[in-house]
Structure 1
Amino acid sequence: MTVPSNQSRAAVVTGGSRGIGRAVALRLAVDGQDVVVGYVDNETEAKSTVEAIETTGGRAVAVQVDVADENGVRALFDAAERSFGGVDVVVNAAGVMILKPVVQLDLDEFDRMHRTNLRGTFVVAREAIGRLRAGGAIINFSTSVTRLNLPSYAAYAASKAAVEALSPILAKEARGRDITVNAVAPGPTATALFLEGKSDDLIQHIAKQNPMERLGRPDDIAEVVSLLAGNGRWINGQTIFVNGGAA
């Protein structure tokens, strides 16, 4: 089917207050979708994203949510339905990245990453599969690091590899519902999450490893999410690596 790009569609974007999530929220609004900006703690940035959408004539609301809490996630979808009448697209962009060698990573840090990255994606997707209208889409987030085998990324990559395993199975479980489920796996992208704690020399080294000789931009990732959230209906059960050829 061809999905109309108009204000009748509504998207929930977790982690929508900053980084890639913010870029996705802004892009979906440009596409004509109403947007629910899910955020965990930074209300100021979430409101800034909403205001940016409203400035361009779109409609958006910000809702605080712990994606790993099923009651909070249920309330998030309730808020979306109250605001916009239903939900058509869910983007699981909320994520935590802590980089340490396995021997140095505290188990509380391990649990924190997996609680958000895996459990959070699972909880949101489980709620979404029963709430999305026909023609809907679930877009989860993995990472290109699952193929790069970089030191210090083990726990983070493991949490995202699990998301890659979840997504195509959920696509098959949605049989007959006209709902697609895919995962997007960005490469190194110029966000605060990626840049934090890295020297300029290291950032330049990583950028040069890409045949495009630059880091990804949040808008690069949002472009692919836009396709999956709209007319890319024949893409289903896939992990799409969006990295400029880095992996």
Structure 2
Amino acid sequence: MPQSTLQGKVAVIGGGEKNLGGLLSRTFAQDGAKVVVHYHTSDDEAKRTVKDVQDAGGQAVSVQGDLTRVADVRRLFDAAKDAFGGVDVAVNTTGMVLRKPILEISEEEYDRMFGINAKAGFFFIQEAGRNLNDHGKIISLGTSLLAAFTDGYSTYAGGKAPLEHFTRAAAKEFADRYISVNTVAPGPMDTPFFYPQESPERAEFHASQAMGNQLTHIEDIVPVIRFLATEGWWFTGQTMFPNGGYTTR
């Protein structure tokens, strides 16, 4: 039977220590899930998120790892099973944004962008498929630029684009175990990742393109991911664009 609650489920959240991932960790725990908080370098924030969950009566552990390293992705899921006996939901919120003209991008920058946005995304889905219980949920974080185009974001949009294809293939390959696989692709989000890439004028323009003249907030995206992790079992192989009506020049 499809799951319609997170009560008693185990959720692995890539980048689960802060921003969207941190809010997801806290929300899933409030809904009764046992949460595995992955982080790369933000040890203090991971500890704070785990403590918040535990102080609220939930269960959580943190696991450090660089998801561009396949061994670390495997260790993350192994740690989840060691801590809680299995995995039911896997959400990958990790990524890296770079706004830079194509003519100025170095080979090192290209490799780093595709490592974080594409390679890590692929092997997260792979290990989730290997480790999730039947009727599990796999959700990746994309970008609204998958459905639009603009200047400057070639390696970000290009690095995230493979997620759509990984998601579709995995949705077919894992279907016999009733595991759904989806991508959520928000518009520009009001987080610390966004502002270093944009001028104040461009940030204002981006906000003007959405309903209410505001950037996407992490609170807007959590309910979409929560839906896919619970009631949204019939959705699979999809890319969803919760973007507030965002458009781009």
TM-score (norm 2): 0.94
Cα shift readout 1:182-229 (whole Å, capped 9, x = no counterpart): 000010111111122534443222111113311111111111110111
Partner of 1:235: 235
The answer on whether the counterparts of 2:143 and 2:187 sit within 8 Å (CA) in structure 1 is yes
Contact 1:3–1:230 (CA<8 Å) still a contact in 2?
yes
In 2, the alpha carbon distance for the partners of 1:97 and 1:4 equals 33
Q: Which residue in 2 is equivalent to 1:77?
A: 77
Check conservation: 2:190, 2:217, Cα contact below 8 A: yes
Deviations 1:21-68 (A, max 9, x none): 212222211221111111111101111111222222211111001112
Q: Match of 1:192, SS?
A: coil
| Contact in 1 for aligned 2:97/2:197 (Cα 8 Å) | no
Percent sequence identity over matched residues?
39
Partner Cα distance (2:7, 2:123) in 1? 27
Deviation track 1:145-204 (CA, whole Å, cap 9, x = no partner) reads 122311110111011111111101110011211100000001011111112253444322
Find the counterpart in structure 1 of residue 160 from structure 2.
Answer: 160
Partner of 1:150: 150
**Is residue 2:178 matched to residue 1:193?**
no
Secondary structure, counterpart of 1:95 in structure 2: coil
Alpha-carbon distance between aligned partners in 2 of 1:56 and 1:187, rounded to the nearest angstrom: 31
User: What code does the residue aligned with 1:105 have?
Assistant: I
The answer for the alignment partner of 1:92 in structure 2 is 92
Q: State the 1:2 CA deviation.
A: 4.0
**Residue 67 (structure 1) aligned with residue 105 (structure 2):** no
Q: Is the 8 A contact 1:24 1:219 kept in 2?
A: no
1:222 alignment counterpart: 222
**Secondary structure of the structure 2 residue equivalent to 1:133:** strand
1:18 to partner: Cα distance: 1.8
* Alpha-carbon contact 1:19-1:193 (below 8 Å) kept: no
Gapped regions of structure 1 (runs ≥ 5): none
TM-score using structure 1 length: 0.95
* 1:195 counterpart letter in structure 2: Y
Q: Which amino acid aligns with 1:149?
A: F
What CA distance in whole angstroms lies between the structure 2 residues aligned with 1:244 and 1:87?
32
Letter in 1 for 2:191: T
The answer to whether the 8 Å contact 1:27/1:223 transfers is no
Matched, 1:23 2:34: no
Q: Give 1:44's aligned residue.
A: 44
Q: Which runs of 4+ in 1 moved over 6 A?
A: none
Distance 1:33 1:237 in 2: 24
Between stretches 155-164 and 24-33, larger displacement belongs to 24-33
Query: Deviation at 1:81?
Result: 0.8
TM superposition shift of 1:5:
2.4
How many pairs were matched up?
A: 247
Deviation at 1:73, TM superposition (A): 1.3
Instruction: State the one-letter code of the partner of 2:63.
Output: V
SS of 1:187's partner is: coil
CA distance in 2, matches of 1:145, 1:61: 33
